[in-house]
Amino acid sequence: MGQTNCAIGISGLNPILDYAGTLDSFGRILRVTEIAVADEFSAAAELVMGKTLNCPVVIIRDYLFEFGNHSISSLIRSEDYDLFK
């Protein structure tokens, strides 16, 4: 039960943070860990905005990222990886 907000667009932000090939806190190599950063921001913003608080905008500051030419389509899973079909 419950729902979270999800991103419907981005501007310059890579919507996926890929940890594959890096080490975890125990020194093991991560193989498939990817974080949907854009969706995480959307969900966190909802906690501040609230559904009934009439807050239309949230500003997230100090997140370090490299500006690039990315697309929200990176968040759309192919049918082979769709967990909710």
Which CATH number does the domain housing residue 53 bear?
A: 3.30.1330.100
> In which residue are the tokens 């996926």 written?
16
> pLDDT by residue (tens digit) across 13-37?
999 999 999 999 999 999 988 999 9
Residue 85 has pLDDT above 90, yes or no: no
Of residues 26 and 51, the one with the higher pLDDT is 26
Domain that holds residue 8: 1-67
The tally of domains found in the chain comes to 1
Residue 84 has pLDDT above 80, yes or no: no
Q: Is residue 75 part of a domain?
A: no
User: Cβ of 58: how many Cβ atoms within 10 Å?
Assistant: 13
Q: Is residue 72 part of a domain?
A: no
Instruction: Check: CB of residue 38 under 8 Å from CB of residue 11.
Output: no
